[in-house]
Structure 1
Amino acid sequence: MATGGNAIRGTRVGAGPMGEQDHGYHADRTAVSYWDALGNETVRYFAANLPEEEIPEQIDSPQSGLPAGRDKDNPPALAKPEPYKTHLAYVKERRTDEEAVQLLDEALAAVRARRGQ
């Protein structure tokens, strides 16, 4: 059996000529590099006509999950996560101890009035 090349093997029936020129219009784009604290570089592409203020300063690095910035020498540090706060902790941020005592006294007075005491 001869090993001749089969020109249509692996192509679709009716497919046109192979080549980049037949794959549509490619929009102009700008490459922006981001670096994380471990030195990993990530390149993101944006439309060339996109205003500079719409290009994000930070992204999440897909390699490490750390925040990545556009300044190679000064990558952003990992933000310290805030501990979980209970409802009571948020209330204590809004109210002083004196206000808490006053509100408790008012609530107790309302309950006693309802109960007829």
Structure 2
Amino acid sequence: MEDNFLKQETTMFWDDDLFDWQLDSKKHYYYNGLVAVDPMPSHTLHLQTFPNPATAEVRFALVGDGEVLIFNSSGKTVLSQHMSAGNSVLNIANLPAGLYLLTARQGKDLYVGKVAKQ
């Protein structure tokens, strides 16, 4: 009994006494669908953040205008902001302490950095 989301896996072993295959284990898996994600751009570059660790704000330099996103350790977007070229400052005072992934997308380039919030 299989459909698009239900899969079955069986493991068999050979029984020399019975001269036949015997069931060793049977597992059922249910997939609840597929999740689409954007492919990573071909140009992934390092984004240097400072201070790191940070308490209230984090600074970084952008070559051009870009969309900046901060993700928590669960992958959830916790901050999204459009930033202008030059030295940029993000206020992270309201974020709980932890490790965050910071991304800045400028055209086809994706800059990625990590910041620790104390």
- TM-score above 0.5: no
Higher-strand-fraction structure:
2
- Greater share of helix: 1
TM-score (norm 2): 0.21
* Greater RCO, CA 8 A, separation 6+: 2
